[in-house]
């Protein structure tokens, strides 16, 4: 493998590029409902609350699967568990494409979501294994950029496809992206050599303050993602309510995500270079909380969504690097499972609550206000994380027991 990828320094970034590309396909599949929500509502006779439920169903399995997901990876190997996840994503997508009834749509979405959970938990651990103690915020910032970029691609590519071929064609397109990820992972991924011993050892639970700090970090990541999810989850529906075509609404919403693809890694780089991760994170929370309600009411939609994208992603890298402050190699598998269990609880509840509120108020725009409240919660959760992580000596990062 060394001859294929070059030096070990190059190995890390080549592996990161691979994981980025595979996770991009997961984001593409996740957005395959929200990106064409008017078509889904028309074909299946459902409303905004049902769309919110379907968005959440992709994330819901995380409540049960995220915690054992790390243990599955330890026992089966991270690579095999990720391949299983991709196979489940393919199966769920095919179910949605070939069984055009609402109950089967729900079943297929849940099946694909189980696969997505395995990817999310284990691939985050893979990145941490390769980068713990070495540009972790930068690497995580780049890695999580796959989410907004994949969603942005879906917002541009899927609405025209849905208008031409319906919801089934969209799901087949998402299946194709997962299949490419399966082949790429099976051929190219390997674990870092210095993590082999840790992977073979028994997984341990983080204890005491470390466990509670990981829970707080998971709450921050969940609330933050749920808040940003209001834009790409309900932005298309909000703009179609104003008379925009589905394709135009998807393109406008995708602008937020394309620019988020710039601000997410930039926030991680700035946090690493300045060593002011907390300042970068809190500034991101505050600015985005102000920008969300403004963007929902602005007449000049494109500039408003552009500003939102440029500031919305800067907190991501510092947030996703938080678990590395309190988790060591032997606690990382279970610790990341705890982290993502809390994350999924927040992200599942977010679209459901926002969809219910939007249905009661009668407009999708109110979902942006719900997102602003979630970002306020991020600030409170970070205060708790700082108090809990105080016993850990700076520099004693995961992987350096």
Nearest CA among 211, 137, 206, 224 for reference residue 385: 211
The tens-digit pLDDT sequence of the chain (401 residues) is: 444 444 444 688 899 999 999 999 999 999 899 888 888 888 888 887 788 788 888 988 888 888 787 777 777 788 899 999 999 999 999 999 998 789 999 999 999 999 998 898 888 888 888 886 677 778 888 888 898 888 888 888 998 999 888 999 999 999 999 999 999 999 999 878 765 545 545 557 777 788 899 999 999 999 999 999 898 778 888 898 888 887 788 888 888 888 888 888 888 888 878 888 889 999 999 999 999 999 999 888 899 999 999 999 899 888 988 887 887 777 777 788 889 889 988 888 888 888 888 888 888 889 999 999 999 999 999 999 998 877 664 444 333 33
pLDDT of residue 240: 87
Instruction: Please indicate, yes or no, if residue 400 is contained in any of the structural domains.
Output: no
Reading the block at residue 38, the tokens are 């008017």
Domain with 246, as residue range(s), is: 2-389
Instruction: Please indicate, yes or no, if residue 398 is contained in any of the structural domains.
Output: no
Instruction: Please indicate, yes or no, if residue 397 is contained in any of the structural domains.
Output: no
The answer to whether the beta carbons of residues 156 and 66 sit under 8 Å apart is no
Q: Using a CB cutoff of 8 Å and minimum separation of 24, what contacts does 129-133 make?
A: 129/191, 129/192, 129/195, 129/329, 129/332, 129/399, 130/11, 130/12, 130/15, 130/16, 130/192, 131/12, 131/16, 132/324, 132/329, 132/397, 132/398, 132/399, 132/400, 133/324, 133/397, 133/398, 133/399, 133/400
Q: Is 208 helix (H, G, I), strand (E, B) or coil?
A: coil
Instruction: Please indicate, yes or no, if residue 395 is contained in any of the structural domains.
Output: no
**Helix, strand, coil in percent for the chain, rounding step 5:** 85, 0, 15
Instruction: Please indicate, yes or no, if residue 357 is contained in any of the structural domains.
Output: yes
Instruction: Please indicate, yes or no, if residue 318 is contained in any of the structural domains.
Output: yes
Q: What's 323's DSSP letter?
A: G
The answer to whether the beta carbons of residues 252 and 301 sit under 8 Å apart is yes
The CATH code of the domain that includes 378 is 1.20.1250.20
The answer to whether the beta carbons of residues 380 and 285 sit under 8 Å apart is no
Nearest CA among 151, 363, 152, 350 for reference residue 238: 363
How many distinct structural domains can be found in the chain?
1
Instruction: Please indicate, yes or no, if residue 326 is contained in any of the structural domains.
Output: yes
Instruction: Please indicate, yes or no, if residue 396 is contained in any of the structural domains.
Output: no
């Amino acid at each position: 493998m060394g001859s294929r990828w070059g030096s070990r320094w190059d190995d890390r970034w080549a592996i990161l590029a691979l994981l980025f590309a595979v996770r991009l396909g997961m984001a593409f599949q996740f957005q395959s409902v929200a990106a064409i929500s008017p078509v889904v509502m028309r074909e299946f006779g459902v409303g905004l609350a049902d769309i919110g439920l379907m968005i959440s169903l992709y994330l819901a399995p995380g409540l049960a699967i995220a915690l054992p997901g790390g243990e599955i990876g330890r026992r089966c190997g991270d690579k095999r568990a990720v391949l299983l996840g991709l196979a489940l994503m393919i199966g769920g997508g095919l179910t949605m494409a070939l069984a055009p009834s609402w109950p089967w749509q729900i079943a297929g979405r849940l099946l694909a979501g189980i696969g997505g959970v395995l990817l999310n938990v284990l691939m985050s651990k893979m990145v941490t294994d390769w980068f713990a103690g070495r540009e972790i915020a930068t690497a995580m910032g780049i890695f999580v950029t796959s989410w907004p970029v994949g969603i942005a691609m879906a917002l541009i590519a899927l609405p025209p496809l849905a208008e031409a071929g319906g919801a089934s064609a969209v799901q087949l397109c998402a299946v194709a992206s997962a299949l490419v990820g399966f082949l790429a992972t099976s051929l190219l991924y390997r674990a870092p050599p210095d993590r082999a011993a840790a992977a073979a050892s028994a997984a341990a639970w983080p204890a005491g303050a470390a466990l509670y700090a990981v829970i707080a970090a998971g709450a921050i990541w969940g609330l933050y993602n749920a808040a940003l999810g209001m834009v790409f989850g309900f932005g298309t529906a909000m703009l179609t309510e104003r008379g925009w075509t589905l394709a135009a609404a998807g393109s406008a919403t995708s602008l937020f995500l394309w620019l988020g693809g710039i601000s997410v890694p930039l926030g991680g780089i700035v946090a690493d270079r300045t060593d002011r991760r907390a300042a970068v994170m809190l500034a991101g929370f505050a600015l985005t909380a102000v920008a969300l309600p403004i963007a929902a009411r602005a007449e000049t939609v494109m500039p408003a969504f552009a500003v939102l994208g440029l500031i919305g992603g800067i907190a991501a890298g510092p947030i996703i690097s938080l678990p590395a402050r309190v988790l060591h190699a032997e606690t990382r598998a279970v610790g990341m499972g705890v982290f993502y269990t809390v994350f999924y609880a927040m992200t599942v509840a977010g679209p459901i609550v926002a969809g219910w509120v939007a249905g009661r108020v009668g407009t999708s725009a109110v979902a942006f206000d719900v997102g602003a409240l979630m970002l306020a919660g991020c600030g409170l959760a970070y205060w708790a994380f700082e108090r809990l992580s105080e016993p850990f000596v700076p520099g004693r990062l995961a992987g350096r027991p």
